[in-house]
Amino acid sequence: MFGLASSRSSAILVNAFRLPAGATLLWLAWVVTTGTAWPDGITWRQHMWLGLSGTLGLAIGDSFYYKGIMLAGPRRASLMLAATPVVAALTAWPVLGEKLGTLALAGIAVVIGGILLAVLGRDAGTGDHRDLPRAVLIRGLGAALVCAVCSAVGNVLAKLGMPGDTPPLAAALVRGWWATLAMGVFLLGRRDIVAQLPRLRDPRVLKPAGVAVVLGPFLGMWAAIAALKLTETGVASTLMNTVPITVLLPAWLIHRDRPSPTALLGVAVAVGGGALLFLR
């Protein structure tokens, strides 16, 4: 849905809309469920980690992801997200002390192999993203890979910001508003993006973006933060990044982008490698 909205406007504009919209829904959920206006007991240290996490993972990372979708299409861009649990596990090892065993290292190798199989195999694409110029495809995949790295490191930082009994909704709320602030600061120097704000009135942009806000930065981020709180970072990142599989049907139906057998095999191998991180 965000990819559809981005294709009709711009990646940064859509991200600038979704962050405050999602953060507002999280705030309303907090008010309704707790009866208070803002979480108590969140220290400045937690604000620092959650703020860095939101800035890196949401404001920066997701903007790159939507750019990747615009260039390479949602199916191929989402493939690069299979690298997220790998980067998360490698980052969490020294930062959080979440050690990697032999099975986890094997999973990392399988993920990399699956991505290479899908990217380097024959797959000219179909529908809206067929026969893309090589330079455009590389730029799109590169942008999506930047998102994978930002999301993974952002997940580790988010876990640092949730010590003790911090409620996941409180952490998601703080993270979302820091990401919104970071995006706002960025937009101060982008008059071209500010000039595009009237495009949000277009129902073809607003409707898919609105649906995606509910599923992404509201419910999706709330659930993601809860997963990071309750389990290891690599495991949570694996469960959160089955997107390369779940995006296949929508990409086919909306963009008529059907994967080749080789690309489909690469996706399955990459996600399966991520599952090895879960089994460790």
Is the separation of the CB atoms in 224 and 88 below 8 Å? no
Token pair recorded at residue 69? 């979708």
Alpha-carbon distances, residue 184 vs 28, 59, 191, 230, 233 (angstroms): 21, 9, 12, 31, 29
Is the separation of the CB atoms in 124 and 62 below 8 Å? no
> What is the amino acid identity at position 69?
I
Q: pTM score, two decimals? A: 0.85
Query: How high is the pLDDT of residue 15?
Result: 81
Residues (pLDDT < 50) of the chain are none
Q: CA triplet 250, 217, 75: central angle to 5 degrees?
A: 25
Query: How high is the pLDDT of residue 253?
Result: 73
> What is the amino acid identity at position 124?
A
Query: How high is the pLDDT of residue 280?
Result: 60
Sequence spans of domains, the chain: 2-103+128-242
Query: How high is the pLDDT of residue 278?
Result: 67
Query: How high is the pLDDT of residue 20?
Result: 95
